[in-house]
C-alpha cells in the first residue's frame, strides 16, 4: 500500500515535534542541575577577610618564623571545614585535639607535629601546667611560647587570631621558609575554595 503525501507530511511533523520535545526536556534538566550545583557551591562556600602577617623572618634565629592569621570580617568559619597549609604541609585542620595527653594541652586544630616523627615542630600556647603534665613556659620539653594564640576554635569569627610559629629546636622540622605560600582552604566533601592566600617572608612582616 502506497502512503499518501499527507501521511508522510504528518509523520514528518510528528517527528519534528518529538525531537523538539526531547530537546526541551534535556535542556530543562541540565538547567535545573546546573542551577542546583551552582547555588549549592555559592551558598555553602563562606566569604571571609583573613589577614595573614609574617613575623620573625630574618631575625637570625634558625627556627622561629611565625605567621599571624586574623579573621577581619565576613562569614563565620567552622573549623571542621578549614585547612591551613604552608607549602604542601598541613598545619591546621579539623582535628579535635592535636595534644590530647592532658587537659592542659588541648590545642584545637593546630598540628604541632607536622612531619610525623613524634617531635613537635610548632609551638603551642604557653601555659602553667600542673606537675607531671606537658605544656608550660617557653623552652619546656614540648615547645611553647607566650606569643602563640589559638583563638580559632570550633567557630572562627571576626577579631580572632591564630598564630603558627616554628619550634626553635634542632630536631624540629623547618616548617616555614621565606617565599612559601600559606593558604586557608575551605573543604566540604569534594568542593573546595581558597579563602585566603599569601606569601610568607620578611616583605610581609
Characterize the bridge pairing of strands 82-86 and 77-78.
unpaired
| Residues 150, 106 contacting (CB under 8 angstroms) | no
| Of 163 and 141, the one with more pLDDT | 163
How many folded domains does the chain comprise?
Answer: 2
Mean pLDDT value across the chain: 79
| Of 27 and 200, the one with more pLDDT | 200
Q: Are residues 17 and 104 in the same domain?
A: no
Q: Are residues 66 and 27 in the same domain?
A: no
Q: Are residues 112 and 186 in the same domain?
A: yes
Q: What is the mean pLDDT of residues 104-115?
A: 82
Q: Are residues 84 and 146 in the same domain?
A: yes
Q: Are residues 166 and 95 in the same domain?
A: yes
Q: Are residues 63 and 5 in the same domain?
A: no
> Does the pLDDT value for residue 154 go beyond 50?
yes
**Domain assignment of residue 30, given as a range:** 1-44
Q: What local confidence, expressed as pLDDT, does residue 60 receive?
A: 87
SS3 content of the chain, % helix, strand, coil (to 5): 25, 30, 45
Q: What is the mean pLDDT of residues 8-37?
A: 62
| Residues 160, 147 contacting (CB under 8 angstroms) | no
Q: How many helices (H) and strands (E) does the chain have?
A: 1, 11
Confidence of residue 135 (pLDDT cuts 50, 70, 90): very low
Q: Are residues 171 and 94 in the same domain?
A: yes
Q: What local confidence, expressed as pLDDT, does residue 97 receive?
A: 73
Q: What local confidence, expressed as pLDDT, does residue 190 receive?
A: 87
Q: Are residues 33 and 57 in the same domain?
A: no
> Does the pLDDT value for residue 69 go beyond 80?
yes
Q: Are residues 26 and 53 in the same domain?
A: no
Q: Are residues 103 and 136 in the same domain?
A: yes
Q: Are residues 27 and 106 in the same domain?
A: no
Q: What is the mean pLDDT of residues 137-153?
A: 72
pTM: 0.72
Q: Are residues 39 and 56 in the same domain?
A: no
Amino acid at each position: 500500500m502506497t502512503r499518501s503525501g499527507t501521511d508522510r507530511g504528518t509523520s514528518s511533523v510528528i517527528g519534528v515535534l518529538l525531537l523538539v520535545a526531547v530537546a526541551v526536556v534535556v535542556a530543562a534538566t541540565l538547567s535545573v542541575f546546573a542551577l542546583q550545583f551552582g547555588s549549592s557551591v555559592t551558598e555553602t562556600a563562606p566569604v571571609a577577610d583573613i589577614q595573614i602577617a609574617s613575623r620573625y623572618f630574618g631575625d637570625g634565629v634558625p627556627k622561629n618564623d611565625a605567621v599571624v592569621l586574623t579573621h577581619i570580617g565576613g562569614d563565620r568559619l567552622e573549623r571542621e571545614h578549614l585547612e591551613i597549609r604552608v607549602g604542601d604541609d598541613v598545619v591546621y585542620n579539623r582535628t579535635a585535639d592535636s595534644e590530647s595527653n592532658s587537659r592542659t594541652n588541648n590545642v584545637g586544630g593546630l598540628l604541632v607535629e607536622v612531619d610525623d616523627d613524634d617531635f613537635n615542630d610548632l609551638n603551642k600556647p604557653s601555659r602553667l601546667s600542673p606537675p607531671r603534665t606537658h605544656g608550660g613556659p617557653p623552652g619546656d620539653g614540648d615547645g611553647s611560647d607566650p606569643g602563640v594564640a589559638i583563638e580559632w576554635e570550633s567557630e572562627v569569627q571576626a577579631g580572632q587570631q591564630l598564630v603558627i610559629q616554628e619550634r626553635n629546636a634542632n630536631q624540629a622540622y623547618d616548617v616555614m621558609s621565606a617565599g612559601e605560600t600559606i593558604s586557608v582552604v575551605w573543604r566540604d566533601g569534594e568542593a573546595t575554595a581558597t579563602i585566603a592566600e599569601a606569601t610568607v617572608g620578611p616583605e610581609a612582616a
